[in-house]
A and B are shown apart, each in its own frame.
Chain A
Amino acid sequence: MKIVVCIKQVPDTEAEVKWDLQKGTLKREAMDSVTNPFDEFALEEALLTKEKYDAEIVAITMGPEKATDVLRNALALGVDSVYHVSDPAMAGSDTLATSYALAKAVEKVGGADVVFCGKQATDGNTGIVASELAARLGFSQLSFVGKVVEIDAANKRIKVERGIEGGNEVVEAKLPAVVSVLKGINEPRLPNLMGIRKATKIPIPAWDADAIGAAKDKIGVEGSAIKVIELTTPPPRGGGEVLKGELAEVSNLLVEKLLDLKVIK
């Protein structure tokens, strides 16, 4: 079985956010970065699948030079090969352009039985790319997956549980499939020292737009439909009232104030 896992480098959620106000894009180079927390679950699910069924794992990231860090981490965890999709012309890609480039990269590695993705990235927070990728590749679209029940590569079937509003849905699908996973589907492991040492020595192949056969007018700003037109800070939320007095007294006062909102019936 062949597994592709798509991972993204995102600004550290604790870090200060730096914007290029002219372009309306992030100054990614100027910020501390980590592997997108949701992608750690995708990576772990790929590793678990490999342990269970015997598979080859290819990790792909798209991003600037320093995005290779997330691929080194993936190598240290035990993925078999990695590719860094990187081209200045890809900067400013929206989900349409990103899913196009990723689809081209998946085709370039020779396709896959399963593509694992995280549910969303903590920077853009769109949660769209995995499903668009599935549609572009013509793969089954399995999103919000909280459990992979079974993969039968020989018969090209996969069975998963999806966490949707009000419960879980059991879905069977044809392979190949793009599976985007929920936080909590597994417990991501940490790389060990030996893995980290080994990973530092492996060269990371870089692919530009030409290498993956991506049309120039379908990537980056030019290939994007959605553009940032305005960046603002929300009006500060007025600090409220700290109720002072004996606990019993303030608790009763709070009940009073909440009932006044006429929401509680």
Chain B
Amino acid sequence: MADYKDVWVYVEHKSGAFSPMSYELMGIGKKLAGDLGGDLCALVIAENTDELAKEAGYYGASKVYAVDGAAFQTFRADAYAKAAASVIDKYKPDVVLYRATTQGADLSSACAAALETGLASDAIGLEIDADKTVKVTRAAFGGNFLVSVANKKTKPQMATVRPKVFPMSERDTSKSAEAVKESVAISEDDLRTKVLQFMQSEVAVNLVEADIIVSGGRGVGKPEGFKILQDLANALGGALGASRAAVDSGWIPQEHQVGQTGKTVKPKIYIACGISGAIQHLAGMRTSDCIVAVNKDADAPIFKIASYGIVGDYNQVVPILIEEFKKRLNK
């Protein structure tokens, strides 16, 4: 086990397109690497890795393991996992981190099974224990408990990390990383899946990455109610969320659902309108930086965790908010 070293961060991208969020784990990766006395390295798999690898250097990677190939044009678990598992097996990192996104979840689980190693998912805390293993903290049971887990048995230690929990590292274009090019032979015949098409959502619902979310629940009362919540979300540059009650009533599609059977979000501002605050809903949003509650019922449990509360009808409050924000933001 002693020959396992360094902390690797998998850099996710969409058919070569990346954003700063692709590199969001470089900050925590650097910290863990420092505590373990190893280096921060990036793992990049793409049709053409050059840009992605250079960027990883800007964000603080000292080494980039890069696998190029036509089979990697678009993410697919089978192709990417073959490449990742082979490079991981060869260079033996101590720790590998992935974002807890659909891509990160798919790749990490396929790699974990291939390498027969442990995987902790959706970390909200990462630190190095006295025995130099990674202590991974996760939320359990609607956030009512925090469970810390560790893999003291197999290497590498792997985890997916909830987006937006750890601070980004500085992007510094004077930095560069040593590139280690690896080739992994994969023919289309070896692969089981083929991505035929990507259909972009008409209304982008990217709750997980949104900084501001305006969300509605049972108290919204009707499908049209979500129209003004969407207007507020638009005015703030935010995304539209919903509670299970609103989704189950058919007022809004399921991809908007926040909570235990929906998405877990951590925006900087979460505005809950007509949401009472059942524990299943709180499970999905309680770690938001600032929670605002607008509810007619002064006894609604949501007020117990809200940073700011307004007891009132969203039908009256939200239009005032929209108008005032537009005025103040010169929109």
Binding site for B on A (CB under 8 A): 13, 17, 19, 24, 37-38, 94-96, 99, 122-128, 131-136, 139-144, 159, 161-174, 177, 182-184, 224-234, 237, 239-243, 247-248, 250-252, 254-255, 257-259, 261, 263-265
B residues 122-151 with Cβ under 8 Å of A? 122, 129, 135, 138-151
Sorted nearest first, the 7 A-B pairs with minimum C-beta distance are A225-B118, A135-B113, A131-B109, A184-B254, A230-B148, A240-B307, A251-B320
Interface residues on B, range: 35 or more
A139 surroundings in chain B (CB, below 8 A): 192
Q: Closest A residue to B111 by CB, please name it.
A: A135
A127 to B98, CA, bound (A): 14
Nearest A residue to B114 via CB reads A135
Q: Let me know if B290 is at the binding interface, CB within 8 A.
A: yes
A127 touches B121 (CB 8 A): yes
Residues 31-42 of chain B, each 1 if its beta carbon lies under 8 Å from chain A, else 0: 000000000000
Whether B197 contacts A170 by the Cβ 8 Å rule is yes
Neighbouring A residues of B204 by C-beta, 8 Å: 166
Let me know if B324 is at the binding interface, CB within 8 A.
Answer: yes
**Does the CB pair A128–B116 fall under 8 Å?**
no
B102 lies within 8 A of A143 (CB): yes
- Give the contact stretch, choosing among B53-61, B86-94, B174-182, B261-269: B261-269
**A122-B260, A140-B192 are known contacts. Are A263 and B268 too (CB-CB below 8 A)?**
yes
Residue from A125, A171, A240, A258 within 8 A of B309 (CB atoms): A240
Main SS at interface, chain A: mixed
List residues of chain B with CB within 8 A of the CB of A227.
Answer: 149-153
Residues of B within 8 Å of A170, CB to CB, are 195-199
Cβ of B25 under 8 Å from chain A: no
Please indicate the chain A residues that have their CB under 8 angstroms from the CB of B286 in the complex: 237
Do B308 and A241 touch (CB < 8 A)? yes
Flag whether B168 is at the interface (Cβ < 8 A): no
Would A264 and B212 count as touching, CB distance under 8 A? yes
